[in-house]
A = this chain, B = another copy of it.
Amino acid sequence: MADKIFRVNMTNLTTSVEAVPAAWAGHGGRGLTSTIVAAEVEPTCHPLGSKNKLVIAPGLLSGTMAANSGRLSIGAKSPLTGTIKEANAGGTAAQLLARAGCKALIIEGLPKEDKWYSLALTPEGVTIKEETELVGKGNFTVIETLAKRSDAKLGVLTIGQAGEMRMGSANISIKDPDGGLRSNGRGGLGAVMGSKKIKFITIDPKDGKVAIANPEKFKEANKVFAKALADHPVSQALGQYGTNVLVNIINESGGLPTKNFTSGQFAGHESISGETMHDTIKERGGKVKHNCHAGCVIQCSQVYNDANGKKLTSGFEYESIWAMGADCCVDNLDHIAMADKLMDDIGIDTIETSVAMGVAMEAGVLPFGDGLGVCRILQDEIAKGTGLGRIIGNGAGSVGRAYGITRVPVVKNQAIPAYDPRAIKGIGITYATSTQGADHTMGYTIATNILGVGGKVDPLTKVGQVELSRNLQIATAAIDSTGMCLFIAFAALDNAECLPALIDLINARFDLSLTGDDVVNLGKYILKTERTFNTAAGFTATDDRLPEFFYSEPLPPHNVTFDFTGEEIDTFWDF
């Protein structure tokens, strides 16, 4: 069965299944969501209004046996940034959508009545139902309740209270293979789903399978590909310590943003490091390795138990731990894990929310280091939608505006993540130029600036950073279209067999003969499509800048500023 476009109109409560337009046929994941948003959404529209559309697309290889291919892209005009937006995450949904023959699910319009709905997607199409029981509930209750309602192993996309309240930090969560959650975290896509009054979406592929044009070639390529992934030393470190292996590494580099970006090193780093986390997990009988989707050979996730050996959280990422930890000066990993679980339940981006907490601490709303205070605000303010909860739930920029704070680490109103751009300059170029606001995953120069993957570019000088960020942003846009986890990039940068194997997988899946150049051109096309949307939405080069304080406040211990001129930054787009 050929893949189809599934379309839902929430204004009329109608659904349809359509053939894939020729122009979209070669796209998947981010390439497809950005192409559709650019084609169908008015760039100047209100992100929470009737003209915005939520586009959900598995990657080109999702639903196949290809290793690490289970990422789901979700796109829209972002209520947080006002730019085009794609966020992707693991979980089971990408694979199940692909098996249901869904190339993309497009949700448009706004309901006329003040009611909540759910969508149920099967290979036959989408059914819209009114939902009452789960309205106002957190994500974990949604997952558990739906598991009781049906025996089938449904894929689930859900929003928590934050999405219902259309908060700018609201994410869309995806059920993982163990009934936990993964999050399409950045840019407030949960608010777009909330504006359309959809509490959750279930996916049941029934007996659907993804067709492989050349199964033998596919199997062969996958063997090479999976081996390249598994062999890379970064993959192995990720499997042992999770992404949180980075706390000590980035602290050592002097680029670990601490106390709302006033220092590059955190005195409490050992207490929250990947090594400490690893030992704690072992002591308490958790799981050091865990996969967010079937077929992952890296397994950077984990299950972190509390002191009583009960599961506290999983998918406990470096960026979340950094944000609640170093940036808010919280050196208690259990408090951070409690906050992480609460944020997952409320359905709110851990980076945006924790950076917002750091700004709130600077504003005097609560003291730096008060991890339990953060948990209280999450439960009593954000989940309940109080005034303070709305301010923090709308992100770091919102807190800065509410309290008149000038040290607000955002680009295009999206919080800057776990790598200070003064001490790791390549990532500053990514933050500034990304089509989607500050986002390390858009062009992860940390690989080359810090980890020595794909060569080495000194993080403290300007030399080579623009080119590095450009090459990585182009490659990332292409990878984000395949359904592959971004962590394949380490192997792709260092192992000459990896990228050709990935291209072979795509060729074998669709009976194509793509080359490396085609992949690069795809990446360039995606970036330019996104950039064109943003320009039409009113963005200019002045938006491709870091906040003022990065240029004027030297960051200890290196005492460096971000010293790129606007003209230097703008050369990023010379391709």
Whole-angstrom CA separation of A403 from B543 in the bound complex: 25
- In the assembled complex, the CB of A461 is this many whole angstroms from the nearest CB of chain B, namely 25
Q: Which residues of B contact A48 (CB under 8 A)?
A: 404, 406
Whole-angstrom CA separation of A495 from B540 in the bound complex: 45
Report if A79 contacts B (CB, 8 A).
yes
Whole-angstrom CA separation of A166 from B406 in the bound complex: 11
**Residue contact A404 to B548, C-beta cutoff 8 Å:** no
**Residue contact B387 to A46, C-beta cutoff 8 Å:** no
Q: Which residues of B contact A46 (CB under 8 A)?
A: 406, 547-548
**Residue contact B406 to A401, C-beta cutoff 8 Å:** no
- In the assembled complex, the CB of A190 is this many whole angstroms from the nearest CB of chain B, namely 11
Among B401, B538, B548, point to the contact of A540 (Cβ < 8 A). B538
Q: Which residues of B contact A552 (CB under 8 A)?
A: 50
Return the chain B residue nearest A403 by Cβ: B390
**Residue contact A166 to B388, C-beta cutoff 8 Å:** no
Report if A195 contacts B (CB, 8 A).
yes
Q: Which residues of B contact A387 (CB under 8 A)?
A: 381, 386-391, 402
Return the chain B residue nearest A44 by Cβ: B542
Report if A165 contacts B (CB, 8 A).
yes
Report if A409 contacts B (CB, 8 A).
no
Among B45, B390, B401, point to the contact of A548 (Cβ < 8 A). B45
**Residue contact B44 to A545, C-beta cutoff 8 Å:** yes
Copies in the complex: 2
For A519-554 the 0/1 string (1 means CB < 8 A from B) is 000000000000000001110101101011000100
- In the assembled complex, the CB of A567 is this many whole angstroms from the nearest CB of chain B, namely 14
**Using a Cβ–Cβ cut-off of 8 Å, how many residues does chain A contribute to the interface with B?**
40
**Residue contact B404 to A195, C-beta cutoff 8 Å:** yes
Whole-angstrom CA separation of A552 from B548 in the bound complex: 38
**Residue contact B404 to A166, C-beta cutoff 8 Å:** yes
Return the chain B residue nearest A548 by Cβ: B46
For A273-310 the 0/1 string (1 means CB < 8 A from B) is 00000000000000000000000000000000000000
- In the assembled complex, the CB of A106 is this many whole angstroms from the nearest CB of chain B, namely 20
Q: Which of A165, A391, A401, A538 gathers most chain B CB within 10 Å?
A: A401
**Residue contact A49 to B404, C-beta cutoff 8 Å:** no
**Residue contact B401 to A394, C-beta cutoff 8 Å:** yes
Report if A51 contacts B (CB, 8 A).
yes
**Residue contact A51 to B390, C-beta cutoff 8 Å:** no
Q: Which residues of B contact A406 (CB under 8 A)?
A: 46, 48-49
Whole-angstrom CA separation of A538 from B537 in the bound complex: 12
Q: Which residues of B contact A403 (CB under 8 A)?
A: 165-166, 390
- In the assembled complex, the CB of A60 is this many whole angstroms from the nearest CB of chain B, namely 34
Report if A191 contacts B (CB, 8 A).
yes
Q: Would you list which residues of chain A between 30 and 66 have a CB under 8 Å from chain B?
A: 43-46, 48-51
Other A-B pairs, 18, CB within 8 Å; known A387-B391, A390-B391? A46-B547, A46-B548, A48-B406, A49-B548, A51-B548, A165-B404, A166-B404, A168-B401, A191-B404, A195-B404, A381-B387, A387-B388, A387-B389, A387-B402, A390-B403, A391-B402, A398-B401, A398-B402
Write 15 A-B pairs (CB below 8 A) sorted by A numbering: A44-B542, A48-B406, A49-B548, A50-B552, A168-B401, A194-B404, A195-B404, A381-B387, A386-B388, A387-B389, A387-B390, A387-B402, A391-B391, A391-B402, A394-B402
Please list the residues of chain A having a beta carbon within 8 angstroms of any beta carbon in chain B. Answer: 43-46, 48-51, 79, 165-168, 191, 194-195, 381, 386-391, 394, 398, 401-404, 406, 536-538, 540, 542-543, 545, 547-548, 552
The 7 closest A-B pairs by CB, nearest first: A166-B404, A387-B387, A387-B388, A538-B542, A390-B402, A49-B406, A46-B406
